[in-house]
Amino acid sequence: MNTIITVSREFGSGGRELSRRLARELGFDYYDREILTEIAKKTSLSEDYVRQVLEDKPHGLYPITTGRSFLYVDTQPLQQASAVFSAQQEIIRELAGKSSCVIVGRCADYILRDEHPFRIFVYASMESRIARTRSRAAEGETLTDKEYQKQIQSIDRARAKYYSFYTDMKWGDKYHYDLCINTTNQDIPKLVPYLAKMFM
Amino acid sequence: MNTIITVSREFGSGGRELSRRLARELGFDYYDREILTEIAKKTSLSEDYVRQVLEDKPHGLYPITTGRSFLYVDTQPLQQASAVFSAQQEIIRELAGKSSCVIVGRCADYILRDEHPFRIFVYASMESRIARTRSRAAEGETLTDKEYQKQIQSIDRARAKYYSFYTDMKWGDKYHYDLCINTTNQDIPKLVPYLAKMFM
């Protein structure tokens, strides 16, 4: 039977690095952004649009009705968002059926709940997430700590909103995960081999 | 340098079993109820009273002023509770200074914060905690699931109250721990050797 590990992560916590390293250590497949490409192919929507629906603008999933009569609501964005989520669901199930893997984000923990994946949540203190985000910033980017914090919080708010929209559960609530890892004082490359042993 | 692991745990989650096994696996000292005995010795209070202050009745820590004028408040219980906590603090610091160890509960994560212990929180679904509590019940005990749930919730409420009284932090909030382990679908004896490798 395939071992499926899903990783949800706060922005800047190093959850993606941890996932990639964990997959490599275990010789498992690793799925993250490539899922977007697959969804775009399946839905004939542009990859940018898919990313927007899944990452940047989950509030676009709600039809805007303010100031319009119900009959004039443009339901196309909502239908497209549903198509994106359906495609994502299908792709994630296909991938999980194919081989042991680590899947980052994308409500995979919820989509695969009947397969009982091992669900990890990676988080860290705001201070540590700001430091990490700064160390990975594009050259020439000069944001203040406050600006980074705003950016981080906005991305996490979007993730939380998207997750609860599709799963009806609270993102980051420890009861939805098997293991919650605080990377604040952790050396991720050092931690991963130990973590991997749990699945060997 | 000593490695200090502190474990906070929800009642019925198997946190105590996990701690004991982890200490044994690592060859570390293990401190749990024996701390009570030490406190009793240090304060000349009875072990039962110490247990009551630390486990059963943290609300006894608040002076009861209702219906009395301020001048007549009996501050003895509060003073004794403070003495108990001071003794506990001292003992935990002594133990942590002596050797590598696993310490269960007793705000040790907070008391030893300057030593940067590795802080674990162990939790589980209510269903699994009820099943575990039932499997460990005294012979002849015939409580319903609902009664077990009430018992579990009441113990955890007391732990949370006690913890936040002394630390000003929220008990079980994942940001105060390095690792949060959900034992719901876990086999604790199987899990511990992997966990132990993180500290070897």
Say which of B172, B185, B197 has its CB closest to residue A197.
B197
Q: Which amino acid is at B44?
A: S
**pLDDT over threshold 70, residue B72:** no
Say which of B177, B181, B186 has its CB closest to residue A182.
B177
Where do runs of H (alpha helix) occur along chain A? 15-26, 34-43, 47-51, 76-98, 108-111, 126-135, 145-167, 188-197
Helix (H, G, I), strand (E, B) or coil at B79: helix
Please choose, from the candidates A53, A67, A75, the residue with its C-alpha nearest in 3D space to the C-alpha of residue A166.
A53
By C-alpha distance, the chain A residue nearest B127 is A175
Confidence (pLDDT) at A71? 47
Report the alpha-carbon distance of residue A118 to residue A2 in Å, rounded: 11
The fraction of chain A above a pLDDT of 90, given in percent, is 58
**Interface with chain A: mutation pick from B25, B187, B194, highest number of A CBs within 10 Å:** B194
Chain A partners within 8 Å of B9 (Cβ): none
Confidence of residue B49 (pLDDT cuts 50, 70, 90): confident
Q: How far is A175 from chain B (nearest CA, A)?
A: 7
Confidence (pLDDT) at B56? 57
Say which of A177, A178, A198 has its CB closest to residue B194.
A198
What's the total number of domains in chain B?
1
Chain B partners within 8 Å of A186 (Cβ): 178
**pTM of the entire predicted model:** 0.87
**pLDDT over threshold 60, residue A40:** yes
Confidence of residue A56 (pLDDT cuts 50, 70, 90): low
Chain B partners within 8 Å of A181 (Cβ): 178-179
**pLDDT over threshold 60, residue A100:** yes
The CATH number assigned to the domain holding A115 equals 3.40.50.300
pLDDT tens sequence across B127-169: 999 999 999 888 888 899 999 999 999 999 988 988 998 888 9
Concatenating the DSSP letter of every residue in A167-191 gives HSS-TT-GGG-SEEEE-TT--HHHH
Q: Considering Cα of A183, then A192, then A181, then A97, what sign does the dihedral take?
A: positive
Structure tokens at B49: 């009273």
Cα A64 versus chain centre, distance: 25
pLDDT tens sequence across B117-134: 999 999 999 999 999 999
pLDDT, mean of residues A113-130: 96
Quote ipTM for the complex. 0.84
**Interface with chain B: mutation pick from A114, A198, A200, highest number of B CBs within 10 Å:** A198
Cβ-proximal residues to B79 (8 Å cutoff; 6+ apart), any chain: none
Say which of A172, A174, A198 has its CB closest to residue B182.
A174
Range of the domain at A40: 4-199
Structure tokens at B13: 């989650």
By C-alpha distance, the chain B residue nearest A186 is B178
Q: Which residue has the higher pLDDT, B193 or B65?
A: B193
